[in-house]
Amino acid sequence: MNNDEHNKASIIVKTPEEIQIMYQANQIVSGVLTLLEQEIKPGITTFWLDRLAEDYCRDHQAIPAFKGYKGYPASLCASVNEEVVHGIPSKKKILQEGDIISLDFGTLFKGFYGDAAITVAIGDVNPQVALLIKVTKAALEKGIEQVKIGNRISDISRAVQNYAEHFGFSVVRQFVGHGIGTSLHEAPEVPNYVQRQVSPRILEGMVLAIEPMVNLGSAKVKVLNDQWTVVTADRQPSAHFEHSVAVSVGGPIILSERSPVV
């Protein structure tokens, strides 16, 4: 989400029963991403991926959460190469060997949202770009390791930022992760960089969508004229991974964990 929505809203914690529903919502997201990853090959369009995603979602009794959200025109966000997030699926966007694509999908199921994203390579990609994908995925894992009661949100941010920057990559600042529940975007914000101000403590029952966006070159991004597609200012590639994670006494529960598709 955009970095200046709902700064002052309060954090809503969830009951174990609510987290169970959110697990189901996120497992449908996870099923979509696994399906899309299997279908991706040179020659297919991002429009076709959007169709597959929406059909799978509806077949599993969920509503595609992004469709119509603030006027977003599709179900899937499909962001290719220098596109960071919010790429609009199109019949004109044909995937080619050497491309990378970020797939971001959200569901609404029994009143709760699920949200997750992955970046995948189409065939063989430049080794630096393959590293970018690997590091972004690992940066998300480093962030999730900090999801402990008593830590602060900034512990997640720091872990993500330090890991990505260690490889010489940069983290996007204009878009951040977020709380998630009966709204797609709830407090708190989960930035991928350490901010000046003190951030909230992590509490039992919080559910966080942690979503590092990592650029090969500069951190600067801009929004295209379609009002949605976010691209890197230097047009170098960008990767994005996201999980929805619940906070429990036993540690983080990755609600959108990818398990074998059913």
- Applying CB under 6 A, the residues found at the interface with ligand MF3 are 1, 66, 69-70, 72, 77, 86, 104, 106, 115, 117, 178, 209, 242
Name the residue nearer to ligand MF3 (CB basis): 106 or 191.
Answer: 106
Is 256:115 a contact under the CB 8 Å cutoff? yes
Binding mask 202-221 for Co ion (x = CB under 5 A): -------x------------
Please tell me whether residue 254 binds Co ion under the rule CB under 5 A: no
Decide whether 133 or 190 has the Cβ nearer to Co ion.
190
CB of 96 to Co ion, least distance (A): 27
Q: Can you name the residues that pair with 113 across neighbouring β-strands?
A: 108
**Which strand (E) or helix (H) includes residue 141?**
helix 127-145
Q: Tokens standing for 41?
A: 């090959």
Task: Compare residues 209 and 239 and give the one whose CB is closer to Co ion.
Answer: 209
Sign of torsion, CA 55 59 65 71? positive
Alpha carbon separation from 245 to 7, 59, 78, 180, 234 (Å, rounded): 20, 24, 22, 9, 32
Contact flag: residue 99 with Co ion (CB under 5 A) = no
Nearer Cβ to ligand MF3 (63/131): 63
Does residue 115 belong to the site contacting Co ion (CB under 5 A)?
A: yes
Instruction: Go through the chain and tell me how many residues it has.
Output: 262
Residues found near Co ion in the complex (CB under 5 A): 115, 209
